[in-house]
């Protein structure tokens, strides 16, 4: 393993004491390993939420024991053992909350299917507890908020346990050029659990690694463009970027409201559906239920088959399997985004970064050293040996000088252009072929972590869904040199359940999660 910047130790608390392949035969072995064992050995490793729900209901397991198990898993391989650095802070109240929820269950008071299940949150999601909300930045170290993000309040009401805050690419990978995905000042360099010298991608690196490495049952990441899709693909887990606006963005440290959204990151599709059901708004639920129907025809994008042999093998298998299930497959060899989409997107992101982050810092009472963007820039410059030694803060600097009033007309034109270009691009594929979904390789395999050159992306396909706000689901469906490869399922707005149904069908064919070896 390569040397990474020294990670800050997880804040002390009493609680913290406490050659896989895609073949169906290998998956069967993995799933056997993931199944809950008898009470005698109490094996919880890589369990599914469905298994855990049943064991809790049968009285074979308590939420307290479940939380204790994940705390011990974090202690074993987060900063020790495999040194994956997926977690920044553990909730010091997690065990006591679990005990309370166990008492409620014993009294017959089960709040929801999420009752007593632990969830890890990306560290840019506000919580009104003893877990700092920091975006991984030193300037916000220890920053506690007095208000939960709306999605967190929803989860608490349903009985979910906020277990920990996950490491991420600092400021959701919108600080500067040449960044290394998964690195933050507070969390250090997160690592890929399948090959520790390789990237976990980002920015929701820790959330993906946490579930892949069995640090949590469930996790939540956030996406602006690829920040759920890439780490889900590269870490071999399920990632969901929901339809724009279907999950409240209140309380999330923003890049840009036009594209930011939180979504589930889990080992299994069932678990992602369960978590998404607990996160979405009532309005979104009604829209999604109205579009819940089985996929009959899909567009399979084969534009990346010549990049890696594993990608070609994956798309070939996907096409044959879908056809065997009675789904018509239209194969398309091109994926060329519209000209001007990238320029429009970055203009929108910079404008809204200035507008939205400035407001969050006020609303969530950031400390004086992080009162606004200029203050954060100064802090980083004054502590450049710690904060800027790997890469810069160009995005902050570009956003900070924007005059929001003078730039408004240009911004609004860019916003409209980006949404039109991206939506028309996807609609043409879906409508021309009368398809229910687009099936496309998500990203290439993980690349080596390189703190001198930064990330060396091979290819990625998240932008069209990110800018348009269309939903996408990523699931592991192949491998390249033993590294996971993901496929994304993209559909029209509010077809989230349909995409998850399709993902679950792929999972049943031997695609989906296979545990890493952490030794």
Enter the tokens of residue 161. 């346990």
Phi-psi region of 246 (alpha: psi -120 to 50; beta: other; left: phi over 0): alpha
Q: Which entry of 62, 63, 122, 472 is annotated as an active-site residue? A: 122
Q: 179 catalytic, yes or no?
A: no
Decide if 218 contacts 267 (C-beta within 8 A): no
Q: Which entry of 48, 204, 227, 488 is annotated as an active-site residue? A: 227
Q: 35 catalytic, yes or no?
A: no
Decide if 173 contacts 393 (C-beta within 8 A): no
Find residue 488's DSSP bridge partners: 440, 474
Rg of the Cα atoms in the chain: 21
Q: Closest by alpha carbon to 418, among 230, 256, 175?
A: 256
At 34, is the secondary structure helix, strand, or coil? Answer: helix
- In the chain, DSSP finds a helix count (H) and a strand count (E) of 18, 13
At 459, is the secondary structure helix, strand, or coil? Answer: coil
Distance CA 158, CA 153 (A): 9
H or E stretch covering 220:
strand 218-223
CB contact set of 385 (below 8 Å; sequence gap of 6+):
none
Distance CA 222, CA 256 (A): 11
Distance CA 397, CA 374 (A): 8
Decide if 218 contacts 118 (C-beta within 8 A): yes
Nearest-5° Cα angle at 328, 304 to 438:
40
CA contacts within 13 A on the Cβ side of 332: 20
Distance CA 146, CA 162 (A): 15
Q: 248 catalytic, yes or no?
A: no
Q: Which entry of 48, 63, 169, 203 is annotated as an active-site residue? A: 203
Question: In terms of DSSP H, where are the helices of 388-493?
Answer: 394-400, 408-432, 463-468
List, in sequence order, every beta strand (DSSP E) within 335-451.
437-441
Decide if 148 contacts 126 (C-beta within 8 A): yes
Q: Report the 10 Å Cβ neighbour count for 456.
A: 9
The residue with tokens 């298998």 is 317
Distance CA 508, CA 132 (A): 39
- Strands of the 328-332 sheet, one edge to the other: 87-90, 161-166, 118-122, 218-223, 261-266, 238-241, 472-480, 483-490, 437-441, 297-301, 328-332
Enter the tokens of residue 385. 């040996």
List, in sequence order, every beta strand (DSSP E) within 302-455.
328-332, 437-441
Distance CA 130, CA 399 (A): 31
Instruction: List residues with catalytic annotation.
Output: 122, 203, 227
């Amino acid at each position: 393993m390569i040397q990474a910047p020294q990670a800050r130790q997880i804040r002390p608390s009493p609680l913290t004491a406490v050659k896989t392949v895609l073949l169906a035969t290998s998956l069967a072995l993995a799933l056997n390993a993931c199944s809950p064992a008898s009470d005698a050995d109490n094996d919880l490793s890589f369990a599914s939420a469905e298994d855990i729900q049943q064991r809790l209901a049968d009285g074979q397991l308590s939420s307290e024991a479940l939380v204790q198990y994940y705390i011990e898993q974090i202690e074993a391989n987060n900063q020790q053992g495999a040194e994956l650095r997926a977690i920044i802070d553990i909730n010091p109240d997690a065990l006591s909350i679990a005990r309370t929820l166990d008492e409620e269950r014993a009294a017959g008071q089960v709040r929801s299917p999420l009752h007593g299940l632990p969830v890890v949150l990306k560290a840019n999601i506000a919580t009104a507890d003893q877990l700092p909300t920091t975006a991984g930045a030193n300037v916000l170290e220890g920053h506690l908020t007095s208000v939960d993000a709306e999605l967190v309040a929803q989860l608490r009401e349903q009985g979910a346990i906020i277990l920990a805050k996950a490491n991420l690419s600092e400021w959701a990978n919108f600080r500067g050029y040449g960044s290394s995905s998964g690195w933050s000042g507070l969390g250090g360099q997160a690592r890929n659990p399948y090959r520790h010298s390789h990237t976990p991608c980002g920015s929701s690196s820790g959330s993906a690694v946490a579930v892949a490495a069995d640090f949590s049952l469930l996790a939540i990441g956030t996406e602006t463009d690829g920040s759920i899709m890439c780490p889900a693909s590269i870490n071999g887990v399920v990632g969901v970027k929901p339809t724009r606006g279907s999950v409240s963005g209140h309380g999330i440290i923003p890049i840009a409201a036009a594209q930011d959204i939180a979504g589930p990151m889990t080992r299994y599709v069932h678990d992602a559906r369960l978590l998404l059901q607990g996160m979405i708004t009532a309005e979104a639920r009604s829209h999604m239920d109205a579009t819940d129907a089985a996929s009959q025809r899909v567009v399979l994008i084969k534009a990346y088959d010549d990049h890696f042999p594993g990608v070609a093998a994956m798309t070939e298998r996907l096409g044959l399997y879908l056809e065997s299930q009675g789904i018509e497959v239209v194969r398309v060899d091109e994926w060329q985004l519209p000209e001007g989409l990238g320029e429009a997107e970055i203009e929108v992101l910079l404008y809204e970064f200035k507008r939205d982050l400035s407001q969050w810092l006020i609303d969530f009472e950031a400390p004086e050293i992080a009162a606004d963007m200029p203050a954060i820039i100064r802090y980083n410059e004054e502590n450049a040996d710690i904060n800027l030694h790997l890469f810069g803060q160009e995005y902050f600097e570009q956003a900070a000088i924007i005059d929001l009033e003078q730039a408004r007309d240009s911004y609004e034109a860019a916003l409209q252009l980006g949404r039109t270009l991206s939506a028309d691009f996807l609609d043409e594929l879906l409508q021309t072929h009368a398809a229910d979904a687009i099936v496309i390789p998500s990203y290439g395999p993980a690349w080596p972590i390189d703190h001198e050159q930064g990330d060396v992306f091979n290819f990625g396909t998240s932008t069209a869904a990110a800018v348009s706000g269309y939903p996408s689901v990523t699931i592991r469906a192949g491998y390249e040199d033993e590294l996971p490869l993901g496929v994304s399922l993209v559909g029209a707005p509010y077809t989230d359940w349909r995409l998850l149904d399709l993902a679950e069908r792929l999972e049943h064919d031997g695609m989906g999660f296979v545990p890493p070896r952490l030794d």
